[in-house]
Amino acid sequence: MEKKATREAYGKALIEIGKDEKVVVLDADLSGSTKSSEFKKVYPDRFFNMGIAESNMVDVAAGMALSGLKPYASSFAVFISGRAFEPVRQSICYQNLSVVLCGSHSGISVGEDGGSHQAIADISLMRSLPNMKVFVPADYNEAYNIVLATVKMEGPVYIRTSRAKSPIITEDKNFESGKAAVLKSGNDVSLIACGMMSYIALEAALLLKQDGIDVEVINSPSIKPLDEETVYKSAKKTKRVFTIEEHSVIGGLGSAVSEFLSENLPVYVHKIGIEDTFGESGTKDDLFCKFGFTKEAVAKRIKDRLNG
Amino acid sequence: MEDFKRLEEIAKTIRRNILTMLNKAGSGHSGGSLSITDILVALYFGGIMKYDAKRPNWEDRDRLVLSKGHACPALYATLAEAGFFDKELLWTLRQLGSPLQGHPDSKKLPGVEASTGSLGNGISQAVGMALATRVLKKKYNVFCIVGDGEMQEGLVYEALMAAGHYKLSNLIVIVDNNGLQIDGQCKDVMNIYPLKEKFEAFNFRTYEMSGHIYKNIMDTLTTAKRNVVSPTAVIARTVKGMGVSFMENRVEYHGVAPSDEELEKALKELE
């Protein structure tokens, strides 16, 4: 199975959307890592390195949007959602500006850099802000198409990408905000995933099939707005919902699904994610083992819950 | 000289409106609004800024970003005087549903270029507007008024660094140096001085001026506009509460609106 990182898609897609002369790209000294450097190679006059000053970068993007440009600003997820949170709130979201923010190196799959650099609350932070849309692509194809789709979107967008390569599991097709996709249909359990966890979810579903548990796997790249219809339909059918994400169980996809279902279709929901703790150094695979993000661990967890 | 007389008269009207709107609102920032009034009058009525009140989104207009957003009563009164919106709106300041929010909201009121109020974010957005001209191939200037207390925000220095780095000669930063902030004198709360050297260290061309003597303001801002090699900083010596004797240099009037009695006294002084 072909493997590529979602951050690579960000760089490639920027080149494509760069044909629009209103598109400008900003980075904070991490352009080689976020892959915004790809845009710089083709459109150097519309690329602005703002140095290691993420807050100013976000405000500068706001000023550019107020002047009629379409800015894309990137940094590590931990910095753009954390360090720059205030300008994201005050300037981007409060003014509902059409600025696209990209946080790369999200979650624990950052690996060796350790807990200080592993964003575990970025979805939560960004999702809490009025006007903000939050997209978490499952793979390269989805990331590429999300970036293409954002050119015409009004208002702020946060795209969460990853450092590590992961299998390509979605088709190369147009992205629609607020739409989830059933990757595998099933009748016993709903497993709603985003990011790299969508692949793990599919694999776990295959294991559970052997135990006679028929899992419906849903890939939900649009955390906000959430595809409520797809979630509702699946939950109504299975009555047992699991969510999985490479993010804290507080405030992310699991919370979005829980918030919706608790008010509209109160069924059992169990959230799989990072349990209110920080990450640490290690290889991505070792960390996925430790944090329970392997197909075996996920399958076991679901089985245990169903039996418990 | 006659021209300055005209500006002084406009400033009196604007100061009267600031105090009246604050009194009606029952809260808001009097002192810092009065200290920047003359600078705003010079910008909008002295011919420093290029704008068209009937076309607030005209692409080639000069921009003013009020980074010290809490002084918005001065901005609102100035914009109303310049014809951006109906003056009657001034009396709705801070009321539910009013486009005159407690701090400036660019989405609600024509002429407000950026939403500000959380200090430091305005000057950074102004840098973005100034930098945007490179891509847009436009020639407008961006004026940005920052408070002296605001110079304590770290974000300001990120903005100055970027402005200096990109040699944003179309950016003119004006510091309202009235020396006071909510908790007392700036030098006591957290010393911000020296200011001139700070701007120079970030490769700004820096001027000092009185923020209340029109000849001085006009000469300095006219010179600042001619700079084509670097961003410009203008440190304006101002008096908090300027124009109202009992408010001048009084920190108590930073975030307090005049009572009915105070308003009456103030309006008499500004006749």
Terminal C-alpha separation, chain A: 35
More confident residue, A1 or B35: B35
Q: What is the mean pLDDT of residues B129-154?
A: 98
Dump pLDDT digits (tens) for A251-283: 999 999 999 999 999 999 999 999 999 999 999
Q: Are A99 and B167 in contact (CB under 8 A)?
A: no
* Domain boundaries, position B106: 2-269
Q: Which listed residue (A2, A8, A38, A54) is catalytic? A: A54
**Distance, CA of A61 to CA of B212 (rounded, Å):** 34
Q: What is the mean pLDDT of residues B251-258?
A: 92
Please name the residue of chain A whose CA is at the shortest distance from the CA of residue B104.
A95
Is residue A160 classed as helix, strand or coil in its secondary structure? strand
CB contact under 8 A, B128 and A87: no
pLDDT of residue B234: 98
- Substitution target in B121, B137, B166 with the highest count of A β-carbons within 10 Å is B121
Dump pLDDT digits (tens) for B74-92: 999 999 999 999 999 999 9
Dump pLDDT digits (tens) for A166-177: 999 999 999 999
A78 and A154, same domain (yes or no): yes
Q: Are B100 and B92 in contact (CB under 8 A)?
A: yes
Provide ipTM, 2 decimals.
0.97
CATH number for the domain spanning A271: value is 3.40.50.920
Q: Are B229 and B7 in contact (CB under 8 A)?
A: no
How would you list the strands of the sheet with A133-135, edge to edge? Answer: A47-49, A23-27, A70-76, A100-104, A157-160, A133-135, A222-224
How many other C-beta atoms are found inside a 10 Å radius of the C-beta of residue A258?
A: 17
B127 closest CB neighbour out of A21, A63, A96: A63
CATH number for the domain spanning A145: value is 3.40.50.970
**Distance, CA of B131 to CA of B123 (rounded, Å):** 12
Q: Report the share of chain B in percent with pLDDT over 90.
A: 98
Tokens (6 digits) for A227: 């595809």
Q: Which of A167, A193, A221 is the last residue before a domain boundary?
A: A167
CATH number for the domain spanning B224: value is 3.40.50.970
How many other C-beta atoms are found inside a 10 Å radius of the C-beta of residue A41?
A: 10
Q: Are A239 and A306 in contact (CB under 8 A)?
A: no
CB contact under 8 A, B121 and A59: yes
**Distance, CA of A253 to CA of A144 (rounded, Å):** 21
A117 and A191, same domain (yes or no): no
pLDDT mean across residues, chain B: 97
Lowest mean pLDDT among A94-103, A259-268, A297-306, B246-255: B246-255
CA-based nearest distance A170→chain B, Å: 36
**Distance, CA of B4 to CA of B215 (rounded, Å):** 7
pLDDT mean across residues, chain A: 98
Q: Which of chain A's residues have a Cβ under 8 Å away from the Cβ of B132?
A: 24, 63-64, 67-69
Total residues found in chain A within this entry: 308
- Classify strands A23-27 and A70-76 as parallel, antiparallel or unpaired: parallel
Tokens (6 digits) for A88: 């994201």
Q: Which of chain B's residues have a Cβ under 8 Å away from the Cβ of A62?
A: 114, 121, 124-125, 128
CB contact under 8 A, B134 and A45: yes
Terminal C-alpha separation, chain B: 20
Q: Is the pLDDT of residue B3 over 90?
A: no
CB contact under 8 A, A60 and B162: yes
| B65: alpha, beta or left? (left if phi > 0; alpha if psi -120 to 50) | beta
User: How many domains are contained in chain B?
Assistant: 1
Please name the residue of chain B whose CA is at the shortest distance from the CA of residue A23.
B135
CB contact under 8 A, A59 and B155: yes
Question: Within 13 Å, how many C-alpha atoms sit on residue A86's CB side?
Answer: 17
User: Is A263 labeled as catalytic in the residue annotation?
Assistant: no
How would you list the strands of the sheet with B205-210, edge to edge? Answer: B63-66, B142-147, B171-177, B232-237, B205-210
- Tokens 């099933």 appear where? A186
Dump pLDDT digits (tens) for A208-228: 999 999 999 999 999 999 999
A-to-B residue pairs, Cβ atoms closer than 8 angstroms:
100
CB contact under 8 A, A63 and B130: yes
Q: Report the share of chain B in percent with pLDDT over 70.
A: 99
For B:117-146, CB contacts with A below 8 A are 117-118, 120-121, 124-136
A128 and A76, same domain (yes or no): yes
- Does the reported pTM lie above 0.90? yes
**A176 is a domain residue:** no
A18 and A109, same domain (yes or no): yes
* Domain boundaries, position A12: 3-167
Dump pLDDT digits (tens) for A142-194: 999 999 999 999 999 999 999 999 999 999 999 999 999 999 999 999 999 99
Q: Which of A167, A189, A206 is the last residue before a domain boundary?
A: A167
Confidence of residue A308 (pLDDT cuts 50, 70, 90): confident
**A173 is a domain residue:** no
Name the DSSP letter for residue A106: B
Q: Are A79 and A28 in contact (CB under 8 A)?
A: yes
| B173: alpha, beta or left? (left if phi > 0; alpha if psi -120 to 50) | beta
Dump pLDDT digits (tens) for A116-141: 999 999 999 999 999 999 999 999 99
pLDDT of residue A1: 82
A186 and A78, same domain (yes or no): no
CA-based nearest distance B106→chain A, Å: 7
Tokens (6 digits) for B185: 């004198």
Name the DSSP letter for residue B52: -
**A248 is a domain residue:** yes
Q: Are A297 and A290 in contact (CB under 8 A)?
A: no
CB contact under 8 A, B107 and A86: no
Q: What is the mean pLDDT of residues A66-85?
A: 98
A59 and A149, same domain (yes or no): yes
H-helix or E-strand containing B206?
strand B205-210
A8 and A131, same domain (yes or no): yes
pLDDT of residue B2: 56
Q: In sequence order, what are the beta bridge partners of A49? A: A27
Dump pLDDT digits (tens) for B210-228: 999 999 999 999 999 999 9
For A:15-34, CB contacts with B below 8 A are 21, 24
Q: Report the share of chain A in percent with pLDDT over 90.
A: 99
Touching check for A212 and chain B: CB below 8 Å?
no
**A48 is a domain residue:** yes
Touching check for A52 and chain B: CB below 8 Å?
no
Mind giving me the DSSP string for B86-111?
A: -GGGGGGTTSTT-SS-SS--TTTSTT
A160 and A210, same domain (yes or no): no
Q: Which of A115, A132, A167 is the last residue before a domain boundary?
A: A167
A59 closest CB neighbour out of B105, B128, B135: B128
Q: Is A275 exposed, middle or buried (0-12, 13-18, 19+ CB in 10 A)?
A: exposed
User: How many domains are contained in chain A?
Assistant: 2
Q: Which of chain A's residues have a Cβ under 8 Å away from the Cβ of B136?
A: 67-69
Q: Is the pLDDT of residue B238 over 70?
A: yes
B106 closest CB neighbour out of A56, A66, A86: A66
Q: Is the pLDDT of residue B1 over 90?
A: no
